[in-house]
Structure 1
Amino acid sequence: MRKLLFCFFLLTGFFAFAQNDVEVKGNSVNVKEKAPIWPGCETTLKKEECFNEKFIKLVKEHYRYPRNAEGEFIRGKVLVALEINKEGKAIINSVEGEQKPIVTAVKEMLKHLPQMQPGTIAGKPTAISYKIPLNL
């Protein structure tokens, strides 16, 4: 009777603590990871493509090219390191580039990033980091 009771509690505990989006087959464990979802991309099937399109739209709408002393547009490259935290808020870790006016303009543009649905690992919200190169 004790063995039967032990097996019952063991199986009950196993099923009670099972995680969403985790699949165990033999010796392998597969954990599903989902990227953050940009507002308006919840219903689309290709969420990553939608995320990229929305980010490009944000750049087009909010990036203002700085000008040099002659009035010409300054162009250059920057590398943006950002993180979408567990709450879905974008946290800018760094913006690196050779031209300071471009870095300043990109930082100003990134203030317009919206609140998103956070990314998940095994069904639990988690912070997801991105490094995005921009040629402006």
Structure 2
Amino acid sequence: MKKLVVIACFLFGGIALSNAQQTSPVWPGCENSEDIKKCFNQKLSQHVSENYEYPQNEAGEYVRGKVTISFNINEKGEVVVNSIEGDKPEVKKAAREMIMKIPDMEPGTLNGEPDSRTFTVPFNF
């Protein structure tokens, strides 16, 4: 009998979670887009190409590298950087500065309430 109760709890809990109404954060300019996620990704790509500034070393050469950035769009629609992983400190610093320039946006929601969303994105600069 206990096993049946536990199985029922998991089943009904899963159904409740699957019925949750969830929306993605809305990047400025994507408010009327048919595909908010696609528009978000396009705007993020555009933001990176327009705002990433390649750092230079002491010899004046551009420093390139790979980073993985984890950031949140919080309940207020603000960007919060969780972590930046990569080999080169100069690239990590430039990536942080670029991510912090993301504009505030309409936050994602869960069941009609503002909700924080985490994004993890790899970049090759």
Q: With structure 2 as the length reference, what TM-score do the two structures score? A: 0.82
CA distance in 2 between counterparts of 1:69 and 1:114 reads 32
Q: Does 1:88 align with 2:73?
A: no
**AA aligned opposite 1:46:** D
> In the alignment, which residue of structure 1 is the partner of 2:45?
56
Structure 2: tracts of 5 or more residues without a match: 1-11
Structure 1: tracts of 5 or more residues without a match: 1-26
CA distance in 2 between counterparts of 1:65 and 1:52 reads 21
> In the alignment, which residue of structure 2 is the partner of 1:105?
94
More helix by share: 2
CA distance in 2 between counterparts of 1:39 and 1:73 reads 31
- Displacement of 1:111 in angstroms is 2.2
Could you say what the CA RMSD is over the residues aligned between the two structures, in angstroms? 1.3
> In the alignment, which residue of structure 2 is the partner of 1:33?
22
CA distance in 2 between counterparts of 1:101 and 1:87 reads 30
Q: Percent identity?
A: 38
Aligned with 2:54 (options 65, 69, 74): 65
Matched residues, number: 110
> In the alignment, which residue of structure 1 is the partner of 2:6?
none
**AA aligned opposite 2:77:** G
- Displacement of 1:67 in angstroms is 2.0
Structure exhibiting the larger radius of gyration computed from Cα positions = 1
Q: With structure 1 as the length reference, what TM-score do the two structures score? A: 0.75
Q: Could you say what secondary structure the match of 2:83 adopts? A: strand
